[in-house]
Amino acid sequence: MTLTTIEAELLEYAQGETRRWQHVAALLMRVEQEKLWQGHATSFTAWLEAIARRADLQESVFWRALSAGRAYLRLTGATRLDMSTPVSAESVELVDKIARHAPRAVRDQIVARTLQGELSRAALREVWATYRPAPGGLTARGRLPEEPAAQEAAASARLAAWDAQKRLTSSREQVRRGELMAAFQAATWLDGCEQVRAESRVEALGGGLASVLIVRRERPQARRLELHGLWTCAAAPALADFPFEAPWAMDFVWLAVPAALASSAVDRAPRMAGVLALDRARKLVIRRAAQKRPVGMAARIELLSMLLERVCGWR
């Protein structure tokens, strides 16, 4: 693809009613990586400024698309942009900043749910407000400076800011909930599984579920799929008032808690609910096995239909 062709597509994008940042980002990255701007401008920046003027757009529109494209590849490890990704350029930039500072369990959940289109920009701004580092040498985008001396000072400031943030009750609970969900979806605590799929877009199911595992058992036990629902509770006050209202279509329900709450959870949770405790290795262990619940066939078919639509990307 020549520079002339790319410029024509960018100008067409500027005049179109539907603007997909992924398409723009792919074109801009190609110009940058293949240095197609050489011979037409003094630098890539100068070329981008010129094409933005021709398109009658603010330069920031193109820079944001380019930044989001770079961030998407960095977050996913992909070599190409997914043109169907249901997420805005601003959301990708936000999750990229969050990923540099949040704990791994929280980071993985935020990245996955954002790229699936589950988290809004408003929700991501709230998360970023929690993990935004304090001043101390960090750049505006949260990166460490290049100079070794300044980098060491900035790293110390980042560590101090993170330690202070962890001491906040709301932040500790948010981190712990992310760890509980990540450990549940890893399914290392569930034996005899041939295949497992995790679904976190479960708000429509009701009952306060945080996630659902769709489980296929190893043969010859694999007669039908099992649905395992997850509740999470990260603090004693929340456990005291926990509603415990699971959808009827769920075969098994589990309450995942930090190890310190395991005994209280066993006493508090309904007898049919299983209790999972998070150990020091950030893995879940079964403190009480869940009992098979009676499932209404109509409710189960409706739930499986909803999950199938999610897998197919229809909603």
How far is 308 from 314, CA to CA, in rounded Å?
9
Q: Say if residue 10's pLDDT is above 50.
A: yes
Residue 173 vs residue 273, higher pLDDT: 273
How far is 315 from 308, CA to CA, in rounded Å?
10
- In contact, 257 and 181? CB cutoff 8 Å: no
- Per-residue confidence (pLDDT) for residue 137, from 0 to 100: 45
**Mean pLDDT for the stretch of residues 34-52:** 92
Report, in this order, helix, strand and coil percent for the chain, each rounded to 5.
Answer: 50, 15, 35
Return the percentage of the chain with pLDDT > 70, whole number. 79
- Per-residue confidence (pLDDT) for residue 293, from 0 to 100: 86
Range with lowest mean pLDDT among 17-26, 32-41, 150-159, 297-306: 150-159
pLDDT tens string 178-232: 889 889 988 999 988 888 888 877 776 777 888 889 888 877 665 678 899 999 9
pLDDT band at 48 (very low <50, low <70, confident <90, very high): very high
How far is 141 from 161, CA to CA, in rounded Å?
16
- Per-residue confidence (pLDDT) for residue 310, from 0 to 100: 58
- Per-residue confidence (pLDDT) for residue 295, from 0 to 100: 72
- In contact, 235 and 268? CB cutoff 8 Å: no
Residues in the chain: 315
Upstream peptide bond of 220 is cis (omega within 30 degrees of 0): yes
Q: How far is CA 187 from CA 119, 226, 286, in A?
A: 23, 13, 11
Residue 309 vs residue 259, higher pLDDT: 259
pLDDT tens string 110-142: 888 888 877 888 888 878 877 775 444 444 445
- Per-residue confidence (pLDDT) for residue 129, from 0 to 100: 77
Residue 247 vs residue 257, higher pLDDT: 257
**Cα 294-296-300 angle, rounded to 5 deg:** 110
Q: Say if residue 143's pLDDT is above 60.
A: no
Q: How far is CA 209 from CA 6, 16, 27, 64, 264, in A?
A: 47, 41, 41, 35, 20
